[in-house]
């Protein structure tokens, strides 16, 4: 009886207050999930080939060797994130410091995550339970690499805390190679290249460096690329789109889920009542049918 009463009370509470309970609960879960999602940006550049065939260009551009050469010539060894918003990746002048490795990290180097507190005269490295202070331009020797932190020459220098992830070079190479999409586009002389990263500026830097490695490109005074293999027809910064799912869809799903539980229970309850009503209505017919069959069997005897 106690269990039955508890079920009845729960059912009454769900019926009366389900909408006010489940909708906020599902929206809270959606907020927690979307807050942890790292934003992803896809940038696309288009080039018009000169004396190179499309199949040959597709093969050369989407090669692991070219991707590795591109990454080796970019400051992608460490990724920066705002400490108060760890899902947002920062790049370039968005960070008041630069991190340089004394020598290229080996392909077997492991990934590491730490925090940097950037101050006016020095910076602090917080790794697990330890805190160490260093001067700018001072070489730091750690198991994950030898590096130094350089302060950008900017009048608007701001102190702050940043999360820094030292990338696994092998894993990073696989990610960029798999995220790089190269395909023929528009006509038989145009190729589209796209890359997805956590920062639009970072995606643009990668595509420009990749094209420069591919074509031995120079840049004229207007900022246009000059080489004998291709002509840049669409710049990557002109073709930016969000690659991650928009958070608004999670809120719609959460709203539907929060409404679905109480209203779904009400619908099922009405449906069961309808079935029960039809069965009650059919009882007289079943009794009449049973009496007639009994009469027939008795008459036959």
Percent of the chain with pLDDT over 70: 64
Higher pLDDT, 22 or 107: 107
**Rounded-to-integer distance, Cα 192 and Cα 232, Å:** 10
Residue 204: pLDDT band (50, 70, 90) is very high
Nearest to 112 by CA among 71, 150, 168: 168
Question: How high does pLDDT run on average in the chain?
Answer: 76
pLDDT of residue 135: 93
CB atoms within 10 A of CB 22: 20
Percent of the chain with pLDDT over 90: 36
Q: What are the pLDDT digits (tens) for 19-72?
A: 545 556 555 554 454 444 567 889 999 999 988 899 999 999 999 999 999 999
203, 79 contact by CB (below 8 A): no
Nearest to 216 by CA among 198, 200, 228: 228
Q: What are the pLDDT digits (tens) for 119-171?
A: 888 999 988 788 899 999 999 988 878 899 998 877 667 788 999 999 999 99
Residue 229: both structure tokens together: 């293999």
pLDDT of residue 84: 83
Given a cut of 60, whether residue 297 has pLDDT beyond it is no
**Rounded-to-integer distance, Cα 176 and Cα 181, Å:** 10
Residue 242: both structure tokens together: 């969000």
pLDDT of residue 280: 47
Higher pLDDT, 256 or 166: 166
Torsion of Cα atoms, 158 then 160 then 165 then 167, to 10°: 10
30, 250 contact by CB (below 8 A): yes
Question: Which domains occur in the chain, in start order?
Answer: 1-37+245-260 (no CATH), 40-74+168-244 (3.30.70), 77-166 (no CATH)
**What pTM does this model have?**
0.68
């Amino acid at each position: 009886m106690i269990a039955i009463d508890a079920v009845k009370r729960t059912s009454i509470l769900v019926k009366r207050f389900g909408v006010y309970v489940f909708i906020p609960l599902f929206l809270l879960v959606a907020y927690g999930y979307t807050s942890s999602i790292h934003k992803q940006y896809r940038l696309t550049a288009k080039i018009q080939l000169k004396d190179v065939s499309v199949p040959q260009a597709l093969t050369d551009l989407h090669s692991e060797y070219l991707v590795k050469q591109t990454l080796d010539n970019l400051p992608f060894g460490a990724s920066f994130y705002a400490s108060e918003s760890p899902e947002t990746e920062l790049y370039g002048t968005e960070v008041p410091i630069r991190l340089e490795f004394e020598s290229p990290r080996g392909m077997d180097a492991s990934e590491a995550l730490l925090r940097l507190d950037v101050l006016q005269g020095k910076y602090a490295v917080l790794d697990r339970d330890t805190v160490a202070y260093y001067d700018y331009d001072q070489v730091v020797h750690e198991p994950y690499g030898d590096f130094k932190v350089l302060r950008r020459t900017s009048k608007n220098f701001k102190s702050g805390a940043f999360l820094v992830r030292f990338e696994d070079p092998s894993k990073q190479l696989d990610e960029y190679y798999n995220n790089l999409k190269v395909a023929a586009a528009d006509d038989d002389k145009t190729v589209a290249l796209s890359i997805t990263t956590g920062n639009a500026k970072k995606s643009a830097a990668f595509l420009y460096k990749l094209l420069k490695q591919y074509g031995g490109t120079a840049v004229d005074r207007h900022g246009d690329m000059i080489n004998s293999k291709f002509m840049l027809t669409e710049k990557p910064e002109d073709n930016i789109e969000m690659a991650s799912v928009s958070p608004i869809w999670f809120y719609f799903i959460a709203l539907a889920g929060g409404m679905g539980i109480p209203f779904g229970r009400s619908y099922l309850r009405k449906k069961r009542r309808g079935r029960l009503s039809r069965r009650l209505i059919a009882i007289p017919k079943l009794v009449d049918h049973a009496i007639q069959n009994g009469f027939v069997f008795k008459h036959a005897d």
